Each structure stands twice: as structure tokens, then as C-alpha cells.
Amino acid sequence: MADGVECGNCGEPLSNAYGGPSPRKPCPKCGSTRRVFSESMNVRLNLSGTATESLKYGHTGREVMGSKAEGYAIEWAGLGNRDAMLNHPGAEDFRRSVGSAPCLSGDTIVLFRGQGILDTEPKPPSVSRMGPLPLENIPGEGRYHRAGERVLYLTSSGDGSRREMEAWCTAGTPYLIRVELPLTKFRIADFMDWPSDHFVTAVFSKAEQCKVDGRGPKSYVFSQVVAELVSAQFDGMRIPGVRGEPGAHYNNVVIFSGLSEWPQWIAPGGGAYPLRAGLPHEYIAVAAYYLWEKDGKKHGCDLLHWHKAVDELTTTTVIAR
């Protein structure tokens, strides 16, 4: 069990009886079920001397080292259904490990969200249209949420949003909106830069392969279980986007709570704008050249500057509300 359990909302110290898996006993002080755990590392995850090889995935940029932890994550992810996964020891070990995850710091973080806007809808779309689904609509499932659950997916760049929309936006004109998420109000766990031989790294690597062609299982069950365990302790999480490539990686921020505050994250006059496609090659080349100069004329960064130029060119035009 965890060495210590506190309420994630009010900080009240709790006994281990209050820190068990969902459904969890509410905090006797404030009624919250969110928890913060402190622990000594479980001996089951002692990785000393177990590493064999590492693999860096091109679609996410995540590096995973072959170890007991990776084998343990593969065993857990390979179970047949949600109940079996939640009752596996891996669920408890993961829950306790993520309790020590660092949170994003600072005042705000700039993120983007894309939506396909139909020809019959007003343009530019309203802020509310670009945000979470209205309450009368029932969400379908996604990588980090089950059908009927409400979460919000945001990306770190316009290019990341474009890559995501190419996979799921099947109708309408792609629009983007820029948001400034207030980190002073949200606890966003950061899972971007954990050690390559850590159990948490191996778990997210498997979650990031779910329903990615040729890489992982054809369902989101495991990644949804991972998100369920994280959301019990945090308002959101930052993870790699799964549709990147070397030189063009991005990350996603998944928000689990506080979605009603969405309109407050938009700066005045910062409405939605169309995602421009088919940029002339010469425009990109000029922008990439200036980025290369600004970066000290470093060699070997051509692809990085090219993709950054595309990103900046596709996110600079803003249409006011």
C-alpha cells in the first residue's frame, strides 16, 4: 500500500482505506475522491540491472528501454477486458507511481483545438462550437475516455491539430482555436519525460499504440484504463501525440475536469480561424530559412525548421469573433 494518502482536493491526510481503487470512499472533510499518494517504490518494479535494449518510437518520440517494467506493462495491457485490467496488480502499481507525477507549472500554457465546421454552420464558428460537446450530446469513445465520458483533447501546436484532424475529421472545413489553459487552476500531470526504463513510461508506450495501425491492439480499453487511474488524481495529463514523425512531434493535453470553464481560456478577440492547407512551397522555404538563421544556422535541423515553419504559417491568421 501507499506510505501516505491525502485528499487531492483539500489536502486532508487519509488512511489507506480511503485510497483504494475506484469506487473510492469520499474524503470525510470535502467529499472528493481525488487522491495524492506518496510511497516507497514497490520491489516488483526494481529495475536494477534489467535493461536490455531501448526503442524510440517515431510516431511519438517516446523512448522505452527493454526491462522487467516493460514486460510487466505488456502483461497488464494484454488482458482481455477492463475489469481484469483494473484488478491486475499493475493497476495498483501504476496508480501509486503516477501519484508522484510532476505537474505543469507556470501561469498558463498555450494549446490548440481543431474542429471540422460544416458548410451549413456559421463561419467563423463560435468559441462554444470549438469547445466540448454540448451536454445534450453523448460523446463517443476516444483514446483516453470511454463512450459517454466528457474529456477535452488539446494539442501543443497547430500542426499537431492538423495531424489529429487528418485522422478523425471526415467532414467540414478544419478550423483551429488557440487557448491559454490556466495552470493555476488545473493540476496537469506531465508524462512526457519520464526515464526510459520506468514502468510509467512503458505503460504509456502501450497506451499510445492502441488502435494505431500496425502497432497495437484494435481497441482503446487499455489506454482508457490508464486515463481512468490518472483522472482519479489529476485534472488532466500531458502525453505525446501519436500521429507525429521524427522532426515533427507534438504533444496532447487531455483535460478530465473543469470543462465548463472553456470560454474563459480564450483571449479577447481570439476566435477560431481556418487551418490553411496547400501552403506554397516558397512560403515555407522562406519561413524555414529565417527560423534556421534565428536558431544560429545549426546544421542537421532542416526537417525541424521546415515543420516549425509550416506550423507557424498555419496558425498566424486569426479571425476575431
Cut 0.85: pTM above it: no
Range of the domain at 33: 1-40
pLDDT value of residue 86 = 96
Q: Which residues contact 70 (CB under 8 A, 6 or more apart)?
A: 64, 197, 202, 205
Determine, yes or no, domain membership for 36.
Answer: yes
What cell was used for 235? 485534472
Beta bridge partner(s), residue 64: 55
For residue 263, the one-letter residue type is: P
Q: Which H or E run includes 96?
A: helix 89-98
Determine, yes or no, domain membership for 35.
Answer: yes
pLDDT value of residue 166 = 83
Determine, yes or no, domain membership for 139.
Answer: no
What cell was used for 186? 488545473
Determine, yes or no, domain membership for 101.
Answer: no
What cell was used for 45? 518494479
Computed over its alpha carbons, how large is the radius of gyration of the chain? 21
Comparing CA positions, the residue from 238, 279, 256 lying closest to residue 105 is 238
pLDDT value of residue 141 = 95
Q: Which residue has the cell 460537446?
A: 133
- Residues (pLDDT < 70) of the chain are 1-4, 8, 19-24, 34-53, 276-285, 300, 302-303, 306-307, 310-311, 313-321
Determine, yes or no, domain membership for 29.
Answer: yes
Determine, yes or no, domain membership for 260.
Answer: no
Q: Which residues contact 20 (CB under 8 A, 6 or more apart)?
A: none
Q: What is the pLDDT of residues 268-305, one digit of tens each?
A: 778 888 876 555 555 566 777 778 788 888 776 766 77
26 within 8 A of 8, measured Cβ to Cβ: no
**Buried-exposed string 207-227: b where 16+ CB fall within 10 A, e elsewhere:** bbbbebeeebeeebbbbbbbb
Determine, yes or no, domain membership for 120.
Answer: no
Domains in the chain, number: 2
Full DSSP string of 36-62: EEE-PPPGGG--TT----EEE-TTT--
Rounded to whole angstroms, how far apart are CA atoms 287 and 314?
12
Determine, yes or no, domain membership for 20.
Answer: yes
Q: Which residue has the cell 499537431?
A: 160
Residue 142 has phi, psi (to 5 degrees) of -145, -175
CA dihedral 85, 244, 254, 179 (to 10 degrees): 180
